[in-house]
Amino acid sequence: MAKAQERVSEIVGAAEALEDEIARLETLSSSARKIRLTSGKNIARAAAELNETLALPERLAQRLQDVAKALARLQERQQAALEPLTAFASEVQRRTQLLGEQMQRFDALGQAAGEINAALAASQGDRAVVARAQARLLELSDAAREVFAAARAADFPEIAREADVFKQRMAALHDRLGSST
């Protein structure tokens, strides 16, 4: 945290120094113009304040350069913070796409299972429909195993877990259909 405070202090310090110089210029400008030029002493004082005022633009320029340098360092920090985010954003985009692909594969399994259930419900015990359903359930179980492996390899444990549960359900339904025939 100390580094952040040092950097903030740098810009604040540079701005405060610039503000101090501008305030000094304003004070000298006002003061010099108020001097009545009616005596040698007053004229000498006015000349001294004018000379001091003439030195201020150089000091103001230095203070402005200090502020610019501090701002440049802030910009460097900003850039250094943003660059890794660009790579992270690419990774988020890649992972989002990969997750979408995994979800589509899993959704396709669910749709296929729904079609099998609908066919079985409409079959009224037709052995040919049951046999096709059993074959399709084995295919779905294999496909679920593939989704499980892909999701696990891609580090999507939730999809892997759901695919594993789905595979077990398809295998159980296959076994139930086999024992009812």
Q: What is the DSSP string of 131-152?
A: HHHHHHHHHHHHHHHHHHHHHH
Domain count, the chain: 1
Neighbours of 26 (CB within 10 A): 10
Residue 122's domain comprises 2-180
The one-digit pLDDT tens for each residue of the chain (181 residues) are 455 555 457 889 999 999 999 999 999 889 888 999 999 999 999 999 999 888 889 999 999 999 999 999 999 999 999 999 999 999 999 999 999 999 999 999 999 999 999 998 898 878 998 899 999 999 999 999 999 999 999 999 999 999 999 999 999 998 888 876 5
Q: Measure the CA–CA gap between 7 and 31, rounded to whole angstroms.
A: 36
Question: What local confidence, expressed as pLDDT, does residue 150 receive?
Answer: 95
Q: Measure the CA–CA gap between 37 and 45, rounded to whole angstroms.
A: 9
